[in-house]
Structure 1
Amino acid sequence: AALLLLPEEFSREDLLASLCGLSYAGDVRVALGAEDVDKVRRIATGSERGLMEMYRDAVKVVGSDLAGLTMGRGGEVWTRDGSPAARSALFATLPRETLHRTMVIHLPPDLLRVERGTPVGEVGGVRLPDTDDMREESARMLVKFEDAGGRSAVESLRECLRGTVRKSSLRQLLAGLLATSPS
């Protein structure tokens, strides 16, 4: 997801901030001022060495095989393949539920209309990602609708991720308020 959220050319710092930012985009505590807005950048900068070590293998596998990731200028500037095939391959690596929710956000509502008697795993003629083949097909469909002049699939993914984080952070905020409220 972090690679999809970045432009085709980015810095190592941008990559690390994108990775760390997955946990904070949509956090209601940031919007309410209860969380530092610069926290993501500080975590990425302060943990650069550990993060690069932790994600080294994933960057090699996903980066070279799927995203066409290349490093230039001493490893400071990175580029990724922005072709539909490369974007589809990256979307197919998303967790099943994230890919499904991104599809629901991204694809036209009439295509996703659930009708009575629709088999599990299929909504309005669109097969939801249950197997690797279906994940690849779903990812191609996201990019296909984007390339046909539709909304950016990356923006739909961003909205999906924000919703996931928002829900979790709201629960944390409410739990904190309940735990600290006077009786």
Structure 2
Amino acid sequence: MEKLIGILQLKDILNNFPRTVKFCFAYGSAAFKQMNNQSNNMIDLIFVVRNANQWHAENLKLNPKHYAQPLKLFGHKAITNVQEKWGAKIYYNTLVKMPQGYMIKYGVISEVSLIEDLLDWTDIYLAGRLHKPVKILVEPNEYSQLRTALVQNLHSAVHAALLLLPQHFTEVEFYKVIAGLSYNGDFRMTFGENKEKVSNIVLPQLTYFRQLYSPILHHFENCVDIPKSENMTVTCHQDTSPATKIHHLNQLPRTLQVKLVRAWSQGPRSKDTEDCLRAIAYDPDCGEILDDCLRKIVWRSSVTQSLKGIITAGFMKSIQYTAAKVMKMFQTNSQITPLPKLEPSQSKVERIVESVKDQAQSKETDKRIE
């Protein structure tokens, strides 16, 4: 654990950027321990901003070398257009060497785009990142819709995971399914990522997953029983009746519901959403239909965002970054890392969950961003 970057060091990095960030978090192997990964890793950061155009204008003045040629020559407006019109509406600068000596990759996304992904799973890109533990460096304002959207995203992950799981499962399997929601279908998992990535993320972070989802699971006590035990391989049980499946399906994000209706209707023909979801709930292949729809969303966003990365990072950095990923994939280390102990202090993510969990009741399926 001594190789992980601490909160204070991460916050120090933020001093190099415009201060108008509304929400910021670190993720990945430099922030949280992963199995079979002993290298000094690049730090992954996400900056959520209110006005992407203004933020890039300020950042171009502060950090012009972070942006690749020739895109930066066209200015902040062109950068913002690439960010918001291509891929998953996020703009990455990668392999950036900071004055503190760290190598970082940072993504910039507008607050509206992130909220849309969290609520509707338009891309399950950053929504998927936030299904897993992250280190929050800048908390969203207490009046921001982001706070509720972050919690709703976790609720959606639980609804989807329970539909994909059988009647009996273990807590470890539960968190593996959640962590895998945004990896299944990702074309990078076929080449460039470790095939055991999900396990390598979940196993060392089990206590952090439990911290993150414990407040959420209070809302699911009527349909799933996850025993409170230090042994996370103890058998859990869930109600898999059609009535419960209908409930889960009705609470899924809008984009996923649209995909499910089209899959059931065998095309874009207009069908009543409620009737289709009810029929899917009675189908023995309900989980497989859902999995296929999730994969299609993830596949599209992973391909388009990766192609976009060639432009935003530049050709040479793209080659360098991809080569590093491939080398990382071939790393082998059979040493099992002890699981971290649960910290007595309440994490920031848990505080956010606690602050809005009473507001995060079952949302209407037509909930939209104003």
TM-score (structure 1 length as normaliser) = 0.75
- Contact persistence 1:27–1:169 (CA under 8 A): yes
- Contact persistence 1:4–1:90 (CA under 8 A): yes
Alignment counterpart, residue 161 of structure 1, candidates 281, 294, 306: 294
Gaps of 5+ in 1: 115-122, 129-133
Give, as a single letter, the amino acid of the residue that structure 2 aligns with 1:41.
Answer: S
RMSD (Å), alpha carbons: 2.1
**Which of these two proteins has the greater Rg computed from alpha carbons?**
2
Counterpart-to-counterpart distance in 2, 1:160 and 1:29: 18
- The equivalent residue for 1:28 is 187
- Contact persistence 2:167–2:238 (CA under 8 A): yes
- The equivalent residue for 1:6 is 165
**Aligned with 2:161: secondary structure?**
coil
- Post-superposition Cα deviations, 1:119-148, rounded to whole Å, max 9, x if no partner, equal xxxx1xx223xxxxx4xx54323224x16x
Counterpart-to-counterpart distance in 1, 2:189 and 2:294: 15
Instruction: Judging by fraction of residues, say which structure has more helix.
Output: 1
Counterpart-to-counterpart distance in 2, 1:14 and 1:80: 13
| Per-residue deviation, 1:46 | 1.8
- The equivalent residue for 1:118 is none
Alignment counterpart, residue 40 of structure 1, candidates 198, 218, 221: 198
- Post-superposition Cα deviations, 1:11-51, rounded to whole Å, max 9, x if no partner, equal 111011011001100010011x1111111111111221111
Counterpart-to-counterpart distance in 2, 1:108 and 1:162: 18
- Contact persistence 1:89–1:139 (CA under 8 A): no
| Per-residue deviation, 1:113 | 6.2
- The equivalent residue for 1:127 is 272
- The equivalent residue for 2:226 is 71
- The equivalent residue for 1:53 is 211
Gaps of 5+ in 2: 1-159, 317-370
Counterpart-to-counterpart distance in 1, 2:193 and 2:310: 15
**Aligned with 1:4: secondary structure?**
helix
| Per-residue deviation, 1:57 | 2.0
1:173–1:80 Cα change, 3 Å: same
- Contact persistence 1:92–1:138 (CA under 8 A): no
1:28–1:113 Cα change, 3 Å: closer
| Per-residue deviation, 1:172 | 2.7
TM-score (structure 2 length as normaliser) = 0.39
Which stretch of the first structure deviates more once superposed, 72-81 or 159-168? 72-81
Instruction: Judging by fraction of residues, say which structure has more strand.
Output: 2
Higher RCO (CA < 8 A, seq sep 6+): 1
**Aligned with 1:10: secondary structure?**
strand
Runs ≥4 in structure 1, deviation > 3 angstroms?
71-75
1:44–1:113 Cα change, 3 Å: closer
| Per-residue deviation, 1:84 | 0.8
Counterpart-to-counterpart distance in 2, 1:23 and 1:140: 25
Of all paired residues, the percent bearing the same amino acid is: 26
Does 1:16 pair with 2:175? yes
Does 1:140 pair with 2:284? no
